[in-house]
Structure 1
Amino acid sequence: MSANPISFLPVWLLEFRAISVALMTKQGELVEANQGFLSVLGDLPAESAGAIFIDPPFFSLLKKEPGDGGLLHSGLVTLGKLNGMRRTFSGSIFLRNQMVLLVAEMDISAFERMSNEIDNLTVGYNEAKAQLTQRSLTLQKVLSENMALKSQDSLTGLPIRSKLDSQLDEEMERWERYRRPLALVILDIDNFSQVNESYGRETGDEILTHVATVIQQSIRTLDLAVRYGGKEFAILLPETNEIGALIAAERLRMELGDQIILPMVKPITASFGVATLLPDETRTEFCSRAERAAKNSKTTGKNCVTMAGVIGECDHLYQGINFEQTKANDV
């Protein structure tokens, strides 16, 4: 660079690093440059600045007719060595007072490196996002499984009563809209406490598991069976009227009575209560009528099906149905 003490560039521009500015003679000698240009010049030869113009070539520029404001070139400018380090800028080259002025706005090579780094960061971000998404799905699956376990009876595998409550709310809302029949069956295993006392709790658990299996095998896909209490089960029957519910309960009663769990010597029996939803009836009232119907079966001989009456508080209006007793009377 020339040792000329005269500065052609403003002091503020000499220290400015955001824009690269260089002033050269027509012979390519670097007269003056600011810190922005010197910082990106690196180890490029400063004594012959014109020689580092790769594209466009320095001396080819001087053959051009200057445009407005002495503009010789506007666009990309590549500086460096033919077989070495290069830097590409976005800028303009002017011819002013027989001197060549370079004003470079951005180091494109640095921008490209930054762009590559951003691309790498984007790839890393996407990979991390995919991993987090997979972990989130795995966590949701574990949480769903845990929730399912919490809402499931560990012995029988059936849902617990809270599932019946939520399903009943949905079915009752549907009943309000479409007035489609809805039935509930509750069964209470007969003489269960005596089984535990005589044969032990293991046999009692085996009976509960067996009853749950028979129920699951006998109901439809749209039905819901739950463990209602210690020795009680409930079956929700959508789209089922009184006759359909009675037939379903009686069929289940007969299936249970056809089997014996060793070391027991008598078949399993249960007392059934059946109710169909009434207008303006609450969930509690609906379940209570089915419970009282099952209790009626229990107190009138067990191993039978009772249909809840329309007036739920009047137990004497319940219709006790014991098919075995009916057969005996016919004989």
Structure 2
Amino acid sequence: MHTLTVQTPSHQYPIFIGNGLIDQAHELLRPYLGKKAAVITNETVAPLYLAKIQTALDTLGIDHFSIILPDGEAYKNWETLNLIFDGLMQNRAERKTTLIALGGGVIGDMVGFAAATYQRGTPFIQIPTTLLSQVDSSVGGKTAINHPLGKNMIGAFYQPQAVLADLNTLHTLPQRELSAGMAEVIKYGALGDSRFFRWLEENMADLMAQQPEKLAQAVYHCCKMKADIVAQDETEQGIRAWLNLGHTFGHAIEAEMGYGVWLHGEAVAAGCVLAGRLSEILCKTQPEDTERIAKLMTAARLPAEPPKFPFERWLEHMRHDKKVSSGVMRFIGLNRLGEANITEINDMEILRQTLQPYL
């Protein structure tokens, strides 16, 4: 087992990474639990892991109840969030009741937002069960729900008490979900570590085959990178925005196609290639850098091209992006492969040129 510590101005907490950790949840999570807990999961994850968490809570003598939500990005909205609030109130959850997010990124984001807002703040724990949530969304305290006009536009920065990433849960992931998570892994190399990017190029076949040691190494490396960035910039005022490489384009794809039609990681994969192409047009990177990103995404069985839709639709979605400041569109681009930047775009023809092959 590996343990990392996330240190932010508001809070410090551990990330536990390893195999079989859900079976050790009663030991690992004991210091972070109150006298009552709510386990919040979805219809897909509940049959797989809910009983183990319930057993852990029983072992500790903690009163608990469960809330089971529908599964999918399409349900990351106010209606589903209210199902969480309904369950908390019906079971008389108090301010010290610990909310446990058991699932992927959608569950983690919604439970975190519920924890940030229920009685103005209750403690919560992340138990991510997908690769995407283990390497990215469960760490750093970004919580949100989607709005029809934009992804993750309504939320809060709210840190968990602990993150327990059991790599064994990845064995039950569909291949498409594993690939979606790998997009975020590749993103880390592209934005901040060229050596890690080369390592991914050399080891992608083993990672897709879930070779245990290499998969653990990749998850640890991504969590370490994110923990270091979040420690410097908890509320995304500066370099934390780099973690959104590919996301402005990716969120536009998700919104246009309908949430859940393209998985988040699939949209980010195509978005990272577009970010490389934008940087290339701005003369910051070379065509071979974009080609390397596209080739690695393809090796992870991810799309290297976006769907085609009109330029005006791209602009409509991207103008709702959270990085827009004073009406100016900002993108995460690259100075080189392995070094991100924040680029302001005023000339829409640059974006049109970037997207031209896909219009």
Please classify the TM superposition score into its range, dividing by the shorter chain length: under 0.3
What TM-score, normalized to structure 2? 0.24
More helix, by proportion: 2
- Structure number, greater radius of gyration: 1
What TM-score, normalized to structure 1? 0.25
